[in-house]
Amino acid sequence: MQHNNTTIDWLGRAQTLTPIIAAASDRTERDRRIPDDVITAIDAAGLPRMLMPVGLGGGAADIMTFNRVIETVAAADASTAWCMAQTLASSHAAGFLDPQIAREVFGAPRALVAWGPPGGPTRAQAVDGGYRVTGKWRFASGSANATWMGGHSQVYERDATPRLDGAGRPVMRTFLFRPDQATIHDTWHVLGLRGTASNDYETADLFVAEPYSTWRDQASDRREAGPLYNIPLLTLYGIGFSGVALGIADASLRAFMTLAQTKKPGGGLGTQQVLRDNAVIQSKLAQATGRLNGARALLHESLRDIWQTSSSAGTFSLAQRAMLRVAITGAMDNAREVVDFAYHSAGTTAIFQGSAFERRFRDLHTALAQGQAHLSNFESAGQALFGVEPAQRL
């Protein structure tokens, strides 16, 4: 079924799902995977196909809607939102694959595609009809629920020499395969985002047919003309993951405001004043609220600007790319400050498992280890604002 992206209330659908996602969050954490009933509910709402082309049965939603949907889900459970952000951004590849393959991989019921960066040397040896792929990769978010996986690999010619592009650089491609064709290693024992199952995985001499390979943003592979496909895939990950951070921060701040109505410092010994009436708390709350709302507003403004330009000119200025990077990484950094405020201000209430703060604190600080949150991104953005194309891609 084809949908017109202007007629579907994606945010409303996400909001309807949040009670289900929140109720399952303890199971998601405990079992280190998204529960099947949550996957079923998300799929029934059509969210996994939200960014796919209309011609492939998708919703062709815009990037601001994408960000807001992920923020909404993250307020209910960060692991679920992280996996959604990863697989939705990865569905960008549907515009660079044969339509039949795209439907099979990204448009199937309960579709969830997991992949991550190489964890060592990778090799895709060209053979008749495709490639023999050998490699190990890391951080495959959603691997426990994945219907397809991908491996980003260096391509070698039939004579075993590296394939090079016109600039003499090694050619990379992403090779798609089923999870049972890979060995998935149970490595994801971490501080937070435990339900993402962002495990290591590997293949050895796996044959992958040519149509099941592509490379992100490669013009020669592109089959869709929509504005989504002018936006680099790595940027889409930032748009999604910044939504995760904002959702965690928003939920943490709201939980603290509720707690502050009744909690007394020191268990009420020595003072009957609740946190809400403390002048320092009042000041810090106002600053945290401004920080969160300001970060969100800048991000939304940048996303609207990028989408409008992508729908018209199709290419972005250096200043636009710099400001989007400032907005993405800035949103994640500001979310950290908000979550830290809520966690520390809640006192001992925050440190216990099952509190409104403990898991969100762990999840947010785990999310900040991802490259989209690295503070080095500001250096690249600053170079771009001076008119210098940075070596690190914006």
Domain 231-385, CATH homologous superfamily name and number? Butyryl-CoA Dehydrogenase, subunit A, domain 3 (1.20.140.10)
Q: Residue 210 and residue 214: Cα distance in Å, rounded?
A: 9
- Residue ranges matching CATH 2.40.110.10 in the chain: 114-216
Predicted pLDDT at 11:
98
Per-residue pLDDT, 393 = 82
What is the value of pTM for the model shown? 0.96
Would you say domain 114-216 falls under CATH 2.40.110.10?
yes
Q: What is the dihedral of CA 368, 371, 373, 375, to 10 degrees?
A: 120
Domain(s) labelled CATH 1.20.140.10 in the chain stretch across 231-385
> Which residues is 154 bridged to in the sheet?
172
Q: Which residues in the chain show pLDDT less than 50? A: 1-4
What is the β-pairing status of strands 123-127 and 172-177? unpaired
* 370 token code pair: 């991802």
Residues 286-342: pLDDT tens digits?
999 999 999 999 999 999 999 999 999 999 999 999 999 999 999 999 999 999 999
pLDDT at 200: 98
Asked if the 10-112 domain carries CATH number 3.10.105.10, the reply is no
The conformation of residue 162, written as its DSSP 8-state character, comes to B
Q: Please give the pLDDT value at position 102.
A: 97
Q: Which residue intervals of the chain bear CATH 1.10.540.10?
A: 10-112
